[in-house]
Amino acid sequence: MKCLCVRLVKAAALTVLVTVVGAAPLRAQEPPDSVVIRDSLAVQESLATDSLAVGDTVPGDSISADTIFYNLPRVRGSEPVGFATGVWEWDRHAIMADGANTLAELFQRLPGVVALLGGDYGTPASVTAFGGGGGGYRILRDGLEVYAAEGGVPNLQLVGLAGISRIRLDRSMGQMTVEMWSHEYDDGRPFSIIEAGTGDLDTNMFRGVYADPTAFGGSIAAGLERMDTRGRERDRSEGGNRTGSWVRYQYHAGDRFGLALDYRTVSSQTRVEEFTPTSGRSDVSVRAAFEALAGVTVSAFAGQSTYTVDSPADSSLFVGGSRTQVGGTLGVDRGPLWLHGSYRNFEGALPSGRVDVRGGISDERWGGISGQWSSSSWNDIDASSYRARAWFTPARFATLFGSYEDGSFGSRAEVLSEGVGTPPLSPDRSFEEGPGVVLDRTGARAGLALSRWGVSLAGATLYSYSNQVQPLGLELDDQATPVVGVHRNGYEGMAVLPTFMEGLTLEGSYQYWDEEGPYQSTQIYRGAFEFHRVFMESGNLELWASLGVRGHDPMQVFVADDMSGSGSVAQVPFYQSWYWQAQVRVVTVRFWLGMDNFTLRRDLQTYPDRVLPFGRSFFALRWDLWN
């Protein structure tokens, strides 16, 4: 406690010092033309216009870049973000302001989304919404799929954020989609990001990126990240860490063609006896993109994903493997019309290929419509689905919205394995696929959003059905047996209420279901006081602050089973975590301070007997550097 107090005193002193110094012109770095800041939930914007992630532009000193820079062309058209569409988006500034170190931490503040954690850093992590288990979400990074090599969904501990400049979550009821994009250049000068922090439980964090838009005949970028902690136990039996790196080289032939070579690796280590001591994932890829016409972009890609683990020396079972994928995309973005199509062919049979087509029309005045169709092959069994979504604004202050989706979705049930009896390090090893399953899912959502005089209210009715609920397929529920799904009806709401203080709002969300089941509790809620203001005419001083709570009723989850294969579902108790956090930005220097579970609840868990850390305070310094 004494150490913590010293840290807090130092943090407060540093905050005052940085703020005072920031009032004068800072010459240690050159600020960019503008600094764009987004709130992670962006609920200050009108729900009726569905622009919940629109950022505020803060002007800075005008400095022209003295070099030319390029990015690989890509189509940007899609549904607008907001509660009405069920889409949320974060840029680099919003990710730093949130303080998240994994995707699970970033998504857990969203309505109806629950983080599923096996413990502290280094243990398996995932998310769920609408009762989705195996096959509940997909991740696409720079157009390539982050394939679930170890089960039914990717382990989020092995998905790094270093060098990621934009994240988009489509909270679809059939299958959520996460899209991630690596750093894009917005200036011709070299650029760096430094993020370093420390906190209770011997927790330390570092994340850094360096990007040069004109190097070696093209552009280069590299990133490092590490998060380590001793966990909640004094004997360090809960200790763990995650370490990642990223390297990219791009060749540009003007702004209409580019070629990118990309390598990313993340490994996690844990002292928890129930889990594999060390696991890792590496992805290498090559991409080419060409803007054939204005607003028309085609791309091709190839990549390989490798999953490795440490196995006991006397074990004849090597769990791990690698897969390749090749494919291409076509994107059209012409005025209000947008269309995305992609094809991916995978090595192996689960799945062997995917086709995705989505498109729509979007207009700020009247709303929009969109549709999506997907098909994949799982051991010669076709899994296809479709979704229709619409949002209309009959008045400036109102938005009517609805969506319907139906179809089948594939999921793997086990890891990519080399098989029993094969020498673990055999150079000619052949990997085998675990079994897969195709699930039928249906979802519907319809509601109304109102926004007037700074007050935003939105509500929707929900319907969800799945013929079967599949375990995640991670170590958390290894060998668990699926259960029969049920029909569920529910509703959800979201509110933003202004207060007496400028920049301070009360925000919250609530979701209710009439039937509980695995990964689906009866009630899920979020609430927080949010403060966000930009000070000084220059916009060089900005403050975020949050005081909130997230929780849900007791929830059923799959648990790891013995080799009998009987399977089991257990219930974890009521979950509630109060948190607070604040960030001060002076030009591009950010000081972040926060604490999770400050009420010190000692039974927080999303899996039985896997109690999460309690009462961890944390502070960090984040800095954008030019030249």
Question: pLDDT band at residue 322, thresholds of 50, 70 and 90?
Answer: confident
Residue 230, Cα to own-chain centre: how many angstroms? 25
Q: Which of 230, 234, 226, 87 is nearest to 157 (CA)?
A: 226
CA angle, 448 then 359 then 355, to 5°? 125
Q: How confident is the model at residue 461 (pLDDT cuts 50, 70, 90)?
A: very high
User: Is the per-residue pLDDT at 14 higher than 50?
Assistant: no
Q: What gap in Å lies between CA 575 and CA 581, rounded to an integer?
A: 20
Question: Tell me, what's the pLDDT at 42?
Answer: 39
- Beta partners for residue 318, in sequence order: 419
Q: In degrees rounded to 5, what are phi and psi of residue 4?
A: -65, -45
CATH number of the domain at 2-626, please?
A: 2.40.170.20
Local structure of residue 43 (DSSP, 8 states): T
User: Could you give the percent of the chain with pLDDT greater than 90?
Assistant: 63
- Compute the C-alpha angle 377/380/381, nearest 5°: 70
pTM of the model as a whole: 0.86
H-helix or E-strand spanning residue 107? helix 103-107
* pLDDT reported for residue 627: 72
**Spatial distance between the Cα atoms of 211 and 235, rounded to a whole number of angstroms:** 40
Number of neighbours of residue 136 by Cβ within 10 angstroms: 28
Evaluate the CA torsion angle 124, 127, 133, 136 in order and state its sign. Answer: negative
203, containing H or E segment: strand 203-215
596: tokens are 């999770």
> Is residue 192 packed enough to be buried (19+ CB in 10 Å), middle (13-18) or exposed (0-12)?
middle
Among residues 601, 504, 591, 474, the alpha carbon closest in space to that of 196 is found at: 591
Q: Are strands 455-466 and 436-452 parallel, antiparallel or unpaired?
A: antiparallel
Q: Identify the H or E element spanning 242.
A: strand 240-252
Range 245-263 average pLDDT: 95
Q: What is the pLDDT of residues 394-425, one digit of tens each?
A: 988 999 999 999 999 988 776 655 433 333 33
Backbone torsions φ then ψ of 2, nearest 5 degrees: -60, -45
> What integer is the mean pLDDT of 138-149?
92
Please compute Rg for the chain using Cα positions.
24
Q: CA-CA distance, 150 to 414, in Å (whole number)?
A: 7
Our CA dihedral for 311, 245, 155, 352, rounded to 10 degrees, sits at -90
**Model pLDDT, residue 311:** 61
Q: Is the pLDDT of residue 498 over 90?
A: yes
Q: Which of 524, 540, 622 is nearest to 577 (CA)?
A: 524
The β-bridge partners of 602 are none
**Sequence-distant (≥ 6) Cβ neighbours of residue 534 within 8 angstroms:** 37, 56, 58, 541, 542
pLDDT tier, 360 (very low <50, low <70, confident <90, very high otherwise): very high
Q: Could you tell me if 558 and 571 are in contact, meaning their C-beta atoms sit under 8 angstroms apart?
A: no
Query: Cβ contacts of residue 296 below 8 Å, gap of 6+?
Result: 330, 331, 332, 333, 334
Does position 547 have pLDDT exceeding 90, yes or no? Answer: yes
Amino acid at 476: L
